[in-house]
Amino acid sequence: MILELRGVRKDYAGVQVLHGVDLVGRRGEVLAVVGANGAGKSTLIKILAGAQPMSEGEMRMDGERVEMRSPHDAHARGIRTVYQEMSLVPGLSVTENLLMGGFPRRRGGLIDWPAAHARARELLESIGFGAIDPRTIAGRLSVARQQMVEIAKALVDEPRVLVLDEPSAVLAGTDLEALFALIRRLRDRGVLVVYVSHRLAEVLELADSIVVIKDGRVIGSTEPSRTSENELIGLMAGRRLEQIYPARRADRGEPALHVSGLSRGGEFEDVSFTLHAGEIVGLFGLVGSGRSELALCVFGAEPASAGEVRVAGGPGGFRTPGQAIAAGLALVTEDRKGSGLVLGMTVADNIMLATLRATTRGPLIDFGRRRRKVAEMVERLDIRPAHCASMTTLHLSGGNQQKAVLAKWLLTGPRVLILDEPTRGVDMATRVEIYRMIDDLAREGLSVLLISSDLTEVLGATDRVLVMNQGRITGEARSDAVTEDEVLTYAIGRTA
Amino acid sequence: MTDQLAGPAPATTTARGRRLPRLVVGGRDLTVQAAFVTLIVLLVATAALTSDVFLTPANLTNLLKQMVTTGLLAFGMLVVILTGGIDLSVGSVVAFSGIVTAGLVAGLPIPLAMAVGVATGIGFGLVNGVLVARFGLAPFVVTLAALTTIRGLAFVYSEVPIAPEDPAFFTLGSALAGPIPVSTLIMLAVFLAGGIFLTRTPAGRSIVAIGGNAETVRLAGINVRRHVALAYTISGACAGLAGVILASRVGIAQPSVGVAFELDAIAACVIGGASLAGGRGSTRATFGGVLVLVLINNLLNLYGVQSFWQQVLKGLIIIAVILVQRTNRVRT
Amino acid sequence: MTDQLAGPAPATTTARGRRLPRLVVGGRDLTVQAAFVTLIVLLVATAALTSDVFLTPANLTNLLKQMVTTGLLAFGMLVVILTGGIDLSVGSVVAFSGIVTAGLVAGLPIPLAMAVGVATGIGFGLVNGVLVARFGLAPFVVTLAALTTIRGLAFVYSEVPIAPEDPAFFTLGSALAGPIPVSTLIMLAVFLAGGIFLTRTPAGRSIVAIGGNAETVRLAGINVRRHVALAYTISGACAGLAGVILASRVGIAQPSVGVAFELDAIAACVIGGASLAGGRGSTRATFGGVLVLVLINNLLNLYGVQSFWQQVLKGLIIIAVILVQRTNRVRT
Amino acid sequence: SSGSGDPAPAGSASASASGDGSYTIGVANFMLSGPYFSGMDKAIAAQAKKKGNVEIISTDANGDAAKLASNVEDLLSKNVDAVIISGGPLESAPAALNAIKAAGKPVVLVDRKFQTGEYTSWIGPDNEAIGKQDGEFLAEKLPDGGKVAIIKGGPADNSIGLARTNGVKSVLSAKPSFTLVEAPDFGNWGSDGGLSVMESLLASNADLKAVFCENDAMCLGAQRAIADAKKTKQIIIAGVDGQAEALKAILDGTNYAVTGLNDADIIGSQGLDRAVDILKGTKVEKDTVVPSPRVTKENASQYYDPNGAF
Ligand SMILES: Nc1ncnc2c1ncn2[C@@H]1O[C@H](COP(=O)(O)OP(=O)(O)OP(=O)(O)O)[C@@H](O)[C@H]1O
Ligand SMILES: Nc1ncnc2c1ncn2[C@@H]1O[C@H](COP(=O)(O)OP(=O)(O)OP(=O)(O)O)[C@@H](O)[C@H]1O
Ligand SMILES: [Mg+2]
Ligand SMILES: [Mg+2]
């Protein structure tokens, strides 16, 4: 089986996003598609999946031209897709989400629920996700589990082509290994797997061939054996990146934030740590270890059941985010769409959201000053496109959305910046920029807490790392004096 | 499979808040259901203890009769609400189907006339559904316009009430099966069949899923438009049926009947815990909501509360009920 | 800064569909606005060409007067709709504030009585707002209960209409400033100030943002509850003001006035392109929506369309208007 | 006619302005969505047609007092010669009356006499007298007295309803053998409301002897509830209005015993005559009470017209 795209073009309201993309995939192959944020990967995938019509070009399967007018057409041809954006129905059970397209029925046409649950369980087990109870309401699962359900959903009836758009972004540890094993098994069974990811190490490990997309064009295709991470980054970014993580000098200053004995029933227990000015501290843990809850609690967005948060030489015990912000805290949450942005508003509106009262003249917002501030941030963080200020945030690519969130918080002039998975779904080049920005901020005296499930990142970009396991801090180490294995051991909870 | 058609609101809204004591049976959290049943039991007990009329057969039959219209409309409304929509036109459809049926009785056999009445409801529902589903118009506005248009059409059909002479016209509305009115049985049958439809058929599940995340359902290859249109058609059918039954019960069809009926139907769904954002609601709890409303009305009447104060109290009680419900909702 | 307070609906709804010719000026897509202005111009032109009464000063003054109530309610409603809520209680608030004002005129100076009337509106709005914001109850249900309760209270205050004797009571509603009614000027002032509030003050921007994503706004350190409560209070204030002006204009306050006023207000917002999901809507376009509604009414009257057919046509025209609007909305 | 094309400025058009003896008369209905009110509107139009030289422009305010005022303004801007207001449940309309006065046109009120404001003439029923009449009938029919229920219409028409109820009460409460039970809930002037209010009444008052409703529509609903409760032989019904279905029920000898005729046809047609008389300069009575005969089985055939407007 061969899947071919020829000269695919796509524009959104006149803005050209894909400029004639060619792509060939064969059965039993893992075809990786890489590219910077906004390069057009997701758009390409939506076209493959029938979720978006192409403006021009053609698609062939086995040499035969196919028309894809709806996701239904794609399903019928055995193309199954896992989208970048989560797309489960949160209120329904895992079983329903999995079998939505076709339930087992009894005579009379009614759904046979016991059979449905059994089938869902069987499916989850067969692909190594047996830990998920199919009766659970999908919205109550952790993000990682939801992602696994999402993948399982694509495998309900043997696909011929499986398209995965950044499936690993929210996975770590054993979950990630399970996913890789699954992909390899599918490939060996003759499935074509189209794989999009910003984690290049992963791509090199998994892919049979790699296609690099830049600004809506294919600018190269290669094989893992013939390239390197650095070369790929260079291709994607259009320039060479010398170094991913800036060299850190651990010149930590005065204490900036004290967290002592902080607990919140069921989520985390007795968490204590201190952040210092000029310091970047990583907080590593497996997905679901309670880090995000902790961050929200420190930020005053959720009440603690015990313990205290205090800004050094300042107030503590924040009961609202407003108080925390006033004291110099800023929080970039892990869920851009859900709690980072107002997607329907302009980028300028979003960037100014936390500092609405800072640009007023009298009771009114001073639009001139506001425009200047926004332009400054857009330039400083290189948010693209450059004229994005008046664009609806929804239309920005994921990485640029993330930068807009960051811009919003930098404008508050924080002393302590908490970043929860800030590089999830962000391309390598942009990551490097983000690391450099974090580094710059720390040099200016900010203290940064970097929450991440990416071990390499946690060790590479920070001075010190805290490890969390099941709601407790189980380890602490200097980042340059600890190995990945040691950190993992703390995170999993086994003593080495 | 529980009757609660779908789970709690997305994580962001449930993320904050206190922990309250929960009632968990066999791994399922039944606190909300239990609180709700308690509420109804409390209402009934208060009524039974404080009024010697409440438990008389006459009053109970009354209660059963009085829940028919709200019940039928509430079920149809629930289906629409599950998709994330709303149907404001049901009161006008009640008027239209009733007056058309009464008007046709002169020339057609009664069952046929009634079938035509229900069919007009189906027709209006379908038009609403197509406008919402096919053209992507806001349900609130489409059905608001329908409310006005259909009410006008009812008056255009007949400005004056129509009272069919044939006493057989009254049968549907006044017949009893043992102690239970036939109309109540019809309403219960609708709820029963509706419950099965929503929990156990692919179409029903699709409707629930659409309210949760329509794009996902579309990407799963399901025809979202058709299912949304179906939901409004069901609501129209229920309203048509309610109109026919009401006309038969009153024995006279008025073009002015049914003003603000939609509000009680919506209130019943919401008291039953349905989310107006779609995707969450249960037939059983909606039926509970109907019970609560009818009980409140009946109680206020039995206590002889004066009409204006009835309105004041009814509003306050609704707030109280959803407040209680709210406090009991899952807060993780 | 455009007056459109926030961007188009999320991608899911705009994802499919045809390309239509666009009007782009200076990089901004003005197709929707242009279509809307065209619609109003067309309505006015039709009216002017086909009716010799339309352009008479008497009729124009009439038009200006007729838009006051819907206009005031529509602005308040827009603010609430922007937060993603709805206020069904405005009609009852109109009745309550009117009757209280008329009742107080006997004992208080007229301006004071009127201030008290507006204040009752503010009070009810605040209660609605607190119930929605503090207790997280569904706006639809809270304001539905308020609709019932406040209407009941209006009747409890006075079962019969109150007609103050003092002719000064009529001044507010009937005074003219040149050719323009003072009440119309007040309404225009509300729209003007409201437009500035929503686009150029931190509180206004917060309200718009809350409708887009309340959690994001909360985490940005903004007090979401307070702003939501503020939105309902503004709606209550507008309704209170509308009630006072209406009573003064009619010269008599009735407890039964204002039934279904909320529907016109909502229709005006939606015709103006506001999204009932919140976060999207514009004061200018809402004012356009008010104009469209008032023009339709006036035209149907001028043509002598029979009352029930007026209802039918009004519904159909609303559908047509939002269909046209829809087709013109960005489709990518 | 002095129709809309006439450039004559408002105020100058008096009765004599229409030299050809034809008139345009505006009808401002407060609400047409009740059979009684639409019957009245039709009666006015029918009478105008009969006269031949009168053109009618009818408007409906849909129950909105402000809209009534602007409808009247619309009519005045179309330069009608006179205005007839069918105020329905509206208690008064100062703004409308003031506008008409300012335009110097005559205004005839039909059915509803406004509590305040200046009008030229009024033609309508005496609601309290109708209530009294029903009460007297019940007293005759039930010499041993008993329990009598009263079903009120409710907010939308309050002072009319109040007058009717007070009429009944003034007769029956003077007789110690009668007990009056007022339903707490309103029937909202419709048959469906009458039905459910009656059902509630029957649940707590099994021993009712009669029921009085403020209009016939509610009585018709109440009659069904009584039939369903199998109490047709025990309870007699007294209404007001003379709605066709009620007249028929009375004629058929059911337990619908009496109604007070509040004839929309008569009031409407006399209202139009009155307006024309005024325009012609004829001297007219200011207030005219249209008699409301008591309709029972004996005389019902005289009033029942199966094809009547109301
Ligand atoms: N619905 C839309 N309307 C307008 N522009 C859009 C829309 N969706 C995407 N775009 C634009 O198309 C371009 C490609 O976006 P796409 O999502 O395909 O990028 P991507 O390669 O998947 O990026 P990322 O790595 O950040 O996910 C971006 O510039 C984006 O702003
Ligand atoms: N809506 C929810 N309902 C039930 N449990 C939840 C919900 N959201 C999170 N949890 C659970 O709460 C625990 C803590 O979650 P939290 O998001 O704080 O963890 P985390 O370490 O930040 O992991 P992640 O990387 O997924 O964010 C996890 O076990 C998670 O599964
Ligand atoms: Mg992407
Ligand atoms: Mg997390």
Q: What is the pLDDT of residue D4?
A: 39
The angle subtended at Cα A94 by Cα A93 and Cα A96, nearest 5°, is 65
Mean pLDDT of all residues belonging to chain A? 89
- Judge if A286 and A422 occupy the same domain: yes
Report the first-to-last Cα separation within chain D, whole angstroms: 31
Nearest alpha carbon, ligand 1 atom 16: A40
Residue A249 lies in a domain: no
pLDDT tens digits, residue range A121-173?
999 998 888 889 999 999 888 778 888 899 999 898 889 999 998 888 777 77
How many Å lie between the centroid of ligand 1 and the Cα of residue A5?
Answer: 19
- Judge if A175 and A320 occupy the same domain: no
Question: Is the pLDDT higher at C305 or at A418?
Answer: A418
Closest CA to A166 of A461, A398, A394: A398
pLDDT tens digits, residue range D189-218?
889 999 989 998 998 888 999 999 999 999
A2-12 and A56-61 strand pairing: antiparallel
A270-273: long-range pairs with CB below 8 Å, 24+: A270/A306, A270/A307, A270/A472, A271/A307, A271/A468, A271/A471, A271/A472, A271/A473, A272/A307, A272/A473, A273/A466, A273/A473, A273/A476
How far is Cα C237 from Cα A321, in angstroms, rounded to an integer? Answer: 30
CB count, 10 Å around CB of B306? 16
pLDDT tens digits, residue range C14-66?
333 444 556 666 555 666 677 778 888 888 898 888 888 788 887 888 889 88
Q: What is the pLDDT of residue B332?
A: 29
Chain D residues within 8 A of B56 when measuring between CB atoms: 203
Average the pLDDT over A201-210 and give the result: 92
How far is Cα A365 from Cα C196, in angstroms, rounded to an integer? Answer: 10
In DSSP terms, A282 is beta-bridged to A450, A465
A293 Cβ closer than 6 Å to some ligand 2 atom: yes
Structure token digits, residue C130: 């607190």
A333 Cβ closer than 6 Å to some ligand 2 atom: no
Structure token digits, residue A113: 């629920």
Q: Do B311 and C141 touch (CB under 8 A)?
A: no
% helix / strand / coil in chain B, to the nearest 5? 70, 5, 25
Q: What is the pLDDT of residue A57?
A: 92
pLDDT tens digits, residue range B153-176?
999 999 888 989 888 998 998 888
Query: Picking from C30-39, D9-18, D145-154, which range would have the lowest pLDDT averaged per residue?
Result: D9-18
Say if residue B127's pLDDT is above 90.
yes
Q: What is the pLDDT of residue D17?
A: 46
How far is Cα A486 from Cα A470, in angstroms, rounded to an integer? Answer: 17
pLDDT category at A494 given cuts 50, 70, 90 is: low
How far is Cα A163 from Cα A48, in angstroms, rounded to an integer? Answer: 8
44-73 of B, contacting D, C-beta below 8 A: 53, 56, 58-59, 62, 65-66
Q: How many domains does chain A have?
A: 2
pLDDT category at A232 given cuts 50, 70, 90 is: confident
Say if residue A276's pLDDT is above 90.
yes
Which one of A237, A268, A288 terminates a domain? A237
- Judge if A291 and A201 occupy the same domain: no
The angle subtended at Cα C280 by Cα C278 and Cα C285, nearest 5°, is 125
B203 dihedral zone (left: phi>0; alpha: psi -120 to 50; beta):
alpha
Residues 6 or more apart whose Cβ sits within 8 Å of residue A422:
A332, A402, A406, A434, A450, A452
- Chains C and D make contact, 3+ CB pairs within 8 Å: yes
How far is Cα B323 from Cα B320, in angstroms, rounded to an integer? Answer: 5
How far is Cα B56 from Cα B59, in angstroms, rounded to an integer? Answer: 5
Q: What is the pLDDT of residue A465?
A: 95
Is the C-alpha dihedral spanning A87, A92, A95, A99 positive or negative?
negative
Average the pLDDT over A284-313 and give the result: 90
Chain A residues within 8 A of C216 when measuring between CB atoms: 338-342, 353
Q: Does C9 touch chain B (CB under 8 A)?
A: no
How many Å lie between the centroid of ligand 3 and the Cα of residue A425?
Answer: 8
- Judge if A392 and A289 occupy the same domain: yes
Residues 6 or more apart whose Cβ sits within 8 Å of residue A299:
A318, A321, A324, A329, A331, A418, C219
Q: Residue B99, CB half-sphere, CA atoms under 13 Å: how many?
A: 25
Question: Is the pLDDT higher at D267 or at D5?
Answer: D267
A352 Cβ closer than 6 Å to some ligand 1 atom: no
Instruction: Give me the interface pTM, i.e. the ipTM.
Output: 0.84
- Judge if A110 and A149 occupy the same domain: yes
Query: Picking from B146-150, C77-81, D78-82, D153-157, which range would have the lowest pLDDT averaged per residue?
Result: D153-157
What's the pTM value of the predicted model, to 2 decimals?
Answer: 0.86
Q: Does A261 touch chain B (CB under 8 A)?
A: no
pLDDT tens digits, residue range A321-342?
999 999 999 999 988 888 999 9
Q: Do C266 and B141 touch (CB under 8 A)?
A: yes
Ligand lying nearest the CA atom of residue A19? 1
In DSSP terms, B180 is beta-bridged to B177
Closest CA to A337 of A148, A143, A49, A152: A143
Contact C92, C64 (CB under 8 A): no
How far is Cα D184 from Cα D181, in angstroms, rounded to an integer? Answer: 9
Residue A435 lies in a domain: yes
Q: What is the pLDDT of residue D138?
A: 95
Which one of A237, A264, A280 terminates a domain? A237
Report the residue among A17, A19, A424 best suited for mutation to probe ligand 1: largest number of ligand atoms under 8 A from its CB. Answer: A17
A216 Cβ closer than 6 Å to some ligand 1 atom: no
Q: Look at the block and give the residue holding tokens 């698609």.
A: A59
- Judge if A186 and A290 occupy the same domain: no
Nearest alpha carbon, ligand 1 atom 7: A395
Q: Does C11 touch chain A (CB under 8 A)?
A: yes
DSSP B201: S
Say if residue A439's pLDDT is above 80.
yes
Closest CA to D101 of C251, C262, B140: C251
Q: Does B151 touch chain A (CB under 8 A)?
A: no
Q: What is the pLDDT of residue C1?
A: 39
Q: Do C144 and B263 touch (CB under 8 A)?
A: yes
In DSSP terms, A24 is beta-bridged to A4
pLDDT category at B269 given cuts 50, 70, 90 is: very high
Closest CA to A319 of B300, B58, C223: C223
Q: What is the pLDDT of residue B7?
A: 42
pLDDT tens digits, residue range A368-392?
999 999 999 999 888 888 888 989 9
- Judge if A153 and A265 occupy the same domain: no
Ligand lying nearest the CA atom of residue A333? 4
Range of the domain at A309: 255-491
Residue A247 lies in a domain: no
Q: Is C160 helix (H, G, I), strand (E, B) or coil?
A: coil
Say if residue C10's pLDDT is above 80.
no
Q: What is the pLDDT of residue B31?
A: 66
How far is Cα D268 from Cα B282, in angstroms, rounded to an integer? Answer: 53
Question: Is the pLDDT higher at C210 or at C158?
Answer: C210
Q: Quick one: three-class SS letters along D191-242? A: HHHHHHHHHHHHHHCCCEEEEEECCHHHHHHHHHHHHHCCCCCCCEEEEEEC
Q: Is A58 helix (H, G, I), strand (E, B) or coil?
A: strand
C12 Cβ closer than 6 Å to some ligand 1 atom: no
Distance from CA of C317 to the nearest CA of A (A): 29
How far is Cα B197 from Cα B226, in angstroms, rounded to an integer? Answer: 16
- Judge if A214 and A262 occupy the same domain: no
Say if residue A49's pLDDT is above 70.
yes
395-414 of A, contacting B, C-beta below 8 A: none
A39 Cβ closer than 6 Å to some ligand 1 atom: yes
- Judge if A264 and A187 occupy the same domain: no
pLDDT tens digits, residue range A95-105?
999 998 888 98
Nearest alpha carbon, ligand 1 atom 28: A38
Ligand lying nearest the CA atom of residue A198? 1
Residue A248 lies in a domain: no
Q: Do C319 and B263 touch (CB under 8 A)?
A: no
Q: Do D93 and C310 touch (CB under 8 A)?
A: no
pLDDT category at D8 given cuts 50, 70, 90 is: very low
How many Å lie between the centroid of ligand 4 and the Cα of residue A140?
Answer: 14
In DSSP terms, C201 is beta-bridged to none
Say if residue C8's pLDDT is above 50.
no
- Judge if A31 and A65 occupy the same domain: yes
pLDDT tens digits, residue range A468-489?
998 999 999 999 889 888 888 8
pLDDT tens digits, residue range C252-295?
888 888 888 998 999 999 888 888 888 889 999 999 999 999 89
- Judge if A362 and A435 occupy the same domain: yes
Q: What is the pLDDT of residue C7?
A: 41
- Chains D and A make contact, 3+ CB pairs within 8 Å: no
Q: What is the pLDDT of residue B115?
A: 97
Q: Do C250 and D10 touch (CB under 8 A)?
A: no
Which of D31, D162, D228, D234 has the most B C-beta neighbours within 10 Å, making it the best mutation to test the interface with B? D228
Q: Do A90 and B209 touch (CB under 8 A)?
A: no
Q: What is the pLDDT of residue B330?
A: 38
pLDDT tens digits, residue range C193-238?
999 999 999 999 999 999 999 999 999 999 999 999 999 999 999 9
Most confident region among A201-210, B316-325, D113-122 by mean pLDDT: A201-210
Q: Is D178 helix (H, G, I), strand (E, B) or coil?
A: strand
In total, the C-beta contacts within 8 angstroms joining chain A to chain C are: 102
Nearest alpha carbon, ligand 2 atom 14: A290
% helix / strand / coil in chain D, to the nearest 5? 45, 20, 40
Q: What is the pLDDT of residue A250?
A: 63
Query: Picking from A183-187, A373-377, A388-392, D86-90, which range would have the lowest pLDDT averaged per residue?
Result: D86-90
Structure token digits, residue C245: 């002006």
Q: What is the pLDDT of residue A176?
A: 83
Average the pLDDT over A108-117 and give the result: 91
Q: Do C141 and B314 touch (CB under 8 A)?
A: no
Distance from CA of A149 to the nearest CA of C (A): 22
Q: Does A394 touch chain B (CB under 8 A)?
A: no
pLDDT category at B303 given cuts 50, 70, 90 is: confident
Query: Picking from A76-85, A487-496, B233-242, C23-32, which range would have the lowest pLDDT averaged per residue?
Result: C23-32
How many Å lie between the centroid of ligand 4 and the Cα of residue A169?
Answer: 12
Q: What is the pLDDT of residue D43?
A: 92
Say if residue A496's pLDDT is above 50.
no
Report the first-to-last Cα separation within chain C, whole angstroms: 23
Counting from 1 in the atom list of ligand 1, the atom nearest the Cα of A396 is 31
Ligand lying nearest the CA atom of residue A35? 1
DSSP A338: I
Residue A226 lies in a domain: yes
How far is Cα B320 from Cα C311, in angstroms, rounded to an integer? Answer: 36
Q: What is the pLDDT of residue A109?
A: 85
* Minimum Cα–Cα distance from C202: chain A residue: A356
Report the residue among A132, A170, A293 best suited for mutation to probe ligand 2: largest number of ligand atoms under 8 A from its CB. Answer: A293
- Judge if A214 and A326 occupy the same domain: no
Q: Do C221 and A320 touch (CB under 8 A)?
A: yes
Chain B residues within 8 A of D200 when measuring between CB atoms: 62, 298, 301-302
Q: Does C35 touch chain B (CB under 8 A)?
A: no
Structure token digits, residue A50: 């029938």
A396 Cβ closer than 6 Å to some ligand 1 atom: yes
Biggest CA pair distance of chain B: 64
Which of C2, C201, C216, C331 has the most A C-beta neighbours within 10 Å, making it the best mutation to test the interface with A? C216
Chain-centroid distance of CA D8 in Å reads 35
Closest CA to D291 of D124, D169, D160, D47: D124
Q: Do C212 and A344 touch (CB under 8 A)?
A: yes
We report the CATH number of the domain holding residue A184 as 3.40.50.300
Neighbours of ion ligand 4 (CB under 5 A): A 292, 334
Structure token digits, residue B54: 């409440």
Contact A284, A491 (CB under 8 A): yes
